[in-house]
Amino acid sequence: MNTENQNIEFKESWRDEYLKWICGFANAQGGKLYIGIDDSGTVCGVENVHRLSEDIPNKIVSLLGVVAEVNILQKEGKDYIEIVTLPSNVPISYRGKYYYRSGSTLQELNGTALTDFLFRKTHTTWDQHIVEEGTLDDIDSEAIDYFLGRAVAAKRLDESATKLTTLQTLQKLKLVNKDNKLTIAALLLFGKDIERWNLMSAFRIGRFQHTQDNLLIQDHIACPLIKMPETILWTLRNNYLVAPIHYEGLQRVEPLEIPEDALREMICNAIVHKNYSGPFIQMRVWDDRVELWNYGELPIDYTIEKLLQTHESFPRNPLIAQAFYLAGFIEQWGRGYEKIHDAFIREHLLQPTFEQVRGGILVTVQRERFVAIRSGKHIERMEENKLKQLIEGINEGINDESSQNGLEKSGLKSSLESGLKSGLKSEQSIIEAIIANPNVTIPILQEMTGLSRNGIKKALNRLKVQGIIRRVGPDKGGHWELLQQS
């Protein structure tokens, strides 16, 4: 006899409560319940087998509303019963409760798990809900134009799509019903005021230091969902994360400390898979890590391990996901986490960690580059690499020996090296100046670094946002305080 698994359960004798298992099989992939077999798979037999074979089917029909196949089997002279349950296309309940067979366990579905299950069984989703009071006047035409431009650029819509009206665009995306009433997905993706339709649809970012109580700055981003990923990335770049400079040939490049394509993928996943009946999506930026949490548990039968492998795409909000796909933000093949993994591998960074906590998914990314910059080590390493890249870029552009000699004689190489060193060390120099003299002024910092007044102000603002320094007192008469030794 086979052992217990996803589709097989053994019971030594019949009890009416075992209708829960039949309910669980019907709600999952179907299965077989054997009566008269112990946990080890040994047939122990059952009494009154013929009476049970008549009673059990009647109870299944009257209490579950399904028809199961009940068979009398025999082994070594002992009778036992086989109950074969097929998967149901509609949700099945037992005494008002819903059960689901997952692995070798029976789960009672509650909360968001039950909601997601009922949506799936009825072939509907939350984002298909029609909002009767919503009208086309609530739709932001700029958001529509932004989406169409992105979709055409991503080659997921034809150029002719840019000529569609707002209503035609919503119809194409199936964001309206046959009477052209708007879905909640339409109002969140393209709405002028998304919080009017869902108070928890915004994205919150906070910069913390030491403890949750020490909040330095925060942003509350409430814009059409289709524009939210780029808005969030812009906010992170300008207020929260650092962008170490490097040169590709003579081209100055400032990528974020976290791989931007991976960060965008994580943000888009949070928006697409969020359960919008729960709290805001939250991003906490700490000195050493970034935490991204969104409300919404994994689909039934999914685990973190399965999520991190190539898997079937199963978006909680498929209408929102479809718009994000067409805009080129996400894939449809369950490869999002694989792309994140590859991006961190390419840049030789620690992989993010994923956890199921507080009814949602928490992603934690280590801020290796920021920590290194604050220690001063990364600045030295960047300086050496960038100087090398810059000289290689010059050499690639000038191949003949006479031109190389001309560069040396003109002093261009040495002046480029000198200017590059000065720029790379500017923030570190500011920190060192504050350590030496907390009353140091902007003109003195200009003289030390060679930066303009605006350049110094921007550098000081970045250091303040990063929690490295703060201003005590007024601009005139105050002083700088180093919060943590760099």
- Tens-digit pLDDT profile for residues 104-137: 889 999 877 787 788 778 778 889 999 999 999 9
Q: What integer pLDDT is reported at residue 298 of this predicted model? A: 77
Q: When comparing pLDDT for 205 and 123, which is higher?
A: 205
Tell me the C-alpha distance between 214 and 208, whole Å: 6
Structure-token match 């003949």, residue found = 400
Confidence of residue 472 (pLDDT cuts 50, 70, 90): confident
Bridge partners, residue 221, by sequence: 203
Q: Which of 141-150, 334-343, 442-451 is predicted with the least confidence, judged by mean pLDDT?
A: 442-451
45 plus 156 within the same structural domain? no
Domain count, the chain: 4
Q: Which two tokens stand for residue 182?
A: 């708007």
Higher pLDDT, 40 or 231: 231
Residue-number span of the structural domain to which 480 is assigned: 431-486
Domain boundary among 370, 400, 417: 370
For residue 423, what pLDDT is reported? 43
Whether residue 425 has pLDDT greater than 50: yes
Say whether both 193 and 212 belong to one domain: no
Q: What is the pLDDT of residue 5?
A: 74
Higher pLDDT: 443 or 276? It is 276
Take residue 354 and report the two structure tokens written for it. 């994923």
257 within domain boundaries: yes
Residue 208 sits in the same domain as residue 177: no
Instruction: Tokens for 378, please give them.
Output: 């990364």
Residue 149 lies in a domain: yes
The predicted structure's pLDDT at residue 430: 82
Report the alpha-carbon distance of residue 24 to residue 30 in Å, rounded: 8
- The answer to whether residues 220 and 365 belong to one domain is yes
Q: What is the CATH number of the domain that holds 338?
A: 3.30.565.60
pLDDT band for position 413 (50/70/90)?
A: very low
Shared-domain flag, residues 132 and 262: no
pLDDT tier, 250 (very low <50, low <70, confident <90, very high otherwise): low
**Together in a domain, 233 and 310:** yes
Q: Does any domain span residue 401?
A: no
Task: Verify that 218 and 188 share a domain, yes or no.
Answer: no
Residue after which a domain boundary falls, among 174, 197, 220: 197
Please indicate, yes or no, whether residues 96 and 164 belong to a single structural domain of this protein: no
Domain of 47: which CATH number? 3.30.950.30
Strand 8-11, strand 31-35: pairing: parallel
Rounded to an integer, what distance in angstroms lies between the CA atom of residue 484 and that of residue 471?
Answer: 14
Please check whether residue 34 lies inside any domain of the structure: yes
Question: From CA 436, how far away is CA 486, in angstroms rounded?
Answer: 13
101 lies in the same domain as 171: no
Predicted confidence band of residue 208 (pLDDT cuts 50, 70, 90): very high
Amino acid at 119: F
Q: Kindly state whether residues 189 and 220 are assigned to the same domain.
A: no
Q: What are phi and psi of 334, to 5 degrees?
A: 65, 25
- Same domain, residue pair 212 and 338: yes
Mean pLDDT of the chain: 83
Three-class HEC string of the chain: CCCCECCEEEECCCCHHHHHHHHHHHHCCCEEEEECECCCCCECCCCCHHHHHHHHHHHHHHHHCCCCEEEEEEECCEEEEEEEECCCCCCCEECCEEEEEECCEEEECCHHHHHHHHHHHCCCCHHHCECCCCCHHHECHHHHHHHHHHHHHCCCCCHHHHHCCHHHHHHHCCCECCCCCEEHHHHHHHECCHHHHCCCCCEEEEEEECEEEEEEEEEEECCCHHHHHHHHHHHHHHHHCCCCCEEECCEEECCCCCCHHHHHHHHHHHHHHCCCCCCCEEEEECCCEEEEEEECCCCCCCCHHHHCCCCCCCCCCHHHHHHHHHCCCCCCCCCHHHHHHHHHHHCCCCCCEEEEECCEEEEEEECHHHHHHHHCHHHHHHHHHHHHHHHHHHHHHCCCHHHHHHHHHHCHHHHHHHHHHHHHCHHHHHHHHHHHCCCCCHHHHHHHHCCCHHHHHHHHHHHHHCCCEEEECCCCCCEEEECCCC
448 and 358 housed in the same domain? no
Copy the structure tokens of residue 463: 């250091």
- The answer to whether the Cα torsion of 381, 385, 391, 393 is positive or negative is negative
Residue 420: what pLDDT? Answer: 42
Residue 393: per-residue pLDDT: 45
Residue 57 is assigned to a structural domain of this protein: yes
